[in-house]
Structures are given as structure tokens and as C-alpha cells.
A = this chain, B = another copy of it.
Amino acid sequence: MGMVGGGKDAFIGAIHRIAAHMDGLIEISCGALSIHPDIARESGEMLFLPPERTYLTFEEMIEKESKMPADKRIDFITIVTPNFAHYAPAAMALDHGFNVIVEKPMTFTLQEAKDLKKKLEESGKLLCLTHTYSGYPMVKQARAMVADGVFGKTRKIVVEYYQGWLSRLSEREGNAQASWRTDPKKSGKAGAMGDIGTHAAHLAEYISGSKITKLCADLNIMVPGRALDDDGNVLLKFENEAAGVLIASQVAAGEENNLKIKLYGENGGLEWAQQEPNTLLVKWLDKPTQIYRAGNNYPNTLSSFATENTRTPGGHPEGYLEAFANIYRNFAHTLMAKMEGKEPTKEMLDFPGIEDGVRGMAFIENVVASGNSKEKWTDFVV
């Protein structure tokens, strides 16, 4: 794997590397780790990369790597730059025959997302989008139970994502993360909705197996002086007539990364929260709530999607990094299967991809449009 972005001054690059390393399947072999040459070089050293594969631009990396012999060449590149700098390296990588892993949101605009989709289809390569939360085994269990119909028709979905770190105008106090994420030129049309709202929307669609069809958004700038939404509340309609609510805030003072989802169907429902991700509450209309736990596979309890994404027995908590690593591992297994001419299993194929990326960008466009509209409902158009 080669990495674009993720130098020593970045946050998410280090997470990607841990995720990639965890299962001993993936090695980082080269990188264009920073647009600042010094940082690029120092980061390469820190990662034990050979100097000749420590590039200063992604163009150079893709160009040179594509000319290396097949057995030395990287199989895929991972793009962990700010949002505005996703499309160009992704497109170039596909053009040069590399598979791609890209941070979410997939691109800067919906149009770029559609272009990338076209390019991907032409290339025949794989693209993986790191919507981390769908990598948790109990999220996969939730999805499997809804898909199996155990709760009947879904009626209600409530997804909440609270952070507090933008409660003050930190972007003016030298916080680099805050700085680009609140800048429309780097982040895109939406702030909180792009950064964490897309995660919440993806999680709701992933678990429910149902798509958002309409939305009604109240987007707010709670901290004066900020250019993008830092808070929002959105009413949702899903294609199966379920109603929903999506709440995302980066000014929820005192919250760290509080992501929760509840879903209710005709016969029961479920509740999952990232803080204790190995637990899934399974609620029933006519019997006591059950506590499903990752890694604890009682007969006829957990789906293969949950068990194959767990590394430890029940009671040994896994977390965010393992969820991240599940996305990398499933992608790697799919890639290996493909390279060996085998059919990947449905469990291997269970990682977010281009469709999720396009819908994520559409969510941003639609939620911003609804935020600006006086009408109650805005159709979710892609």
C-alpha cells in the first residue's frame, strides 16, 4: 500500500496505518505523505520507508510506482488528505491501474463523486471508502437482523452523533484539524454534516438496509464567526416509509464522539452506541430485551458478518481501530481473492464503496439544500 497524506502532523493517517497493519496482511511501502517536503521526508523516515519511495507529490508516487515491476509495485493507494484533495489522486490512481482506499467524504462535490464512479467502472478496480462505523461487528449484526426481518417492517430510526470539540472558535486558535474542517474551501459545502453527519447517515442506511428519500434539515452555526454548520437536526424519510431523525453536532460541549443509533420495527428494535461498541441491545415487543455481545456466539445468535469481523472471544473488548481494520481486512481479502481469480465471499465484500461515496456526497448536497429551503421536505436526489 502507498499512502497519500497522513504525515506526522496529521490525525487520520496514523489511524489508517494501524488499521492496515493490525492483521499482518498489509504493508505500507511508499507514500506521498505531505505537501510540505520536510514533513514528507521526516514522516517517511518515521515509517521506515526507503527514501526512494518517499515521494513529495502523489503524482510522482503514482507515476513511478506504476512503472515498477508487478511483484514490487503496491496494490493500492490510501488517500487520507483533506476532502478537497481526494478526487485527483483517486482518479489518477484508478487511471494507472491501482485500487483505492479513500477517506470519507469521498470527494469534494457530488459531481466529482459521480465522475469517480464512472472512472471506477471503466477501470475494473476496487474502491473502498472508510466509513469506519460500519466496520463494528455489532453494527453488522444489527444490519443482519434487520435484513433477516426479525423486527418486521422498520418504522423509526434515530441516529445521533455528538462532539464538543468545536464549541469554541478553535480554528482561530491554531487547531489544524479545526482549521481545515471549518473552511469551505477545504471541507466542502457542509461542516458538521459533512464531517460526522455523513457517518450518521451512512450508518442509518447501512443498518436499516433502506435509503433516505426525503429530508428536512435545520443547520446551524452556533459559534459566531464560523462559516459552515457546526450543528444540525434533520428529519428523515426512508424508502420503506420509516421516519427518522439525524442529529449531528460538533458544539455539544462535553461530548467526545458520541454516536448512537436506535431502530424500531413492528416487533422490536435495537440500540447501539459507539462508546460500548461490543454490545447490541435487542428489544422485543413481547419478551425481555436481550444483550447481544460481540465474540460471544451462542447457538443461532450472531450472523457470520459479526463473527468474521471479531478477533477475540467475548468479553475482550474490541474498538474503533478494530472496526477500521475490518474495513481494511475485508478490502484486502476481496483484493486477494480477485488477484487469485477467486470469488470473494459476501462477508469479504462487506466494506463501503463507491455507491456509499456517491450517496454520502449527495447527502451533503441535499442536506445543505434543505437547510436553505423554506419547504418542509426536500427530495434526496443523487
Q: Interface of A with B (CB < 8 Å)?
A: 11, 14-15, 17-18, 21-24, 28, 47-48, 151, 155-156, 158, 160, 162-164, 167-168, 216, 218, 220, 222, 231, 233, 235, 237, 243-245, 247, 249, 251-258, 262, 264-269, 274-278, 282-293, 295-296, 298-299, 301, 311-322, 373-377
- Decide: A216 near B243, CB < 8 A? Known: A14-B311, A249-B264: no
- CB-CB under 8 A from A321, the residues of chain B are 22, 311-312, 316, 318, 321-322
Taken together as a complex, chains A and B put the C-alpha atoms of A243 and B277 apart, in Å, by 29
Q: Which of B15, B268, B286, B290 contacts A312 (CB 8 A)?
A: B15
Q: Is the CB of A316 within 8 A of B312?
A: no
SS of A interface (majority): loop
Taken together as a complex, chains A and B put the C-alpha atoms of A321 and B277 apart, in Å, by 14
- CB-CB under 8 A from A264, the residues of chain B are 162, 164, 249, 251-255
Residue of B nearest to A232 (CB): B243
Q: Which of B256, B275, B375 contacts A376 (CB 8 A)?
A: B375
Q: Is the CB of B247 within 8 A of A158?
A: yes
A–B pairs, 15, beta carbons within 8 Å: A11-B313, A14-B311, A15-B312, A156-B231, A245-B245, A253-B264, A255-B315, A256-B295, A274-B317, A275-B317, A287-B299, A316-B320, A317-B320, A319-B322, A321-B322
- CB-CB under 8 A from A286, the residues of chain B are 298-299
Q: What's the least CB distance linking A108 to chain B, in Å?
A: 24
Q: Is the CB of B233 within 8 A of A254?
A: no
Taken together as a complex, chains A and B put the C-alpha atoms of A243 and B217 apart, in Å, by 12
Q: Which of B265, B277, B296 contacts A253 (CB 8 A)?
A: B265
Q: What's the least CB distance linking A94 to chain B, in Å?
A: 27
Taken together as a complex, chains A and B put the C-alpha atoms of A274 and B334 apart, in Å, by 33
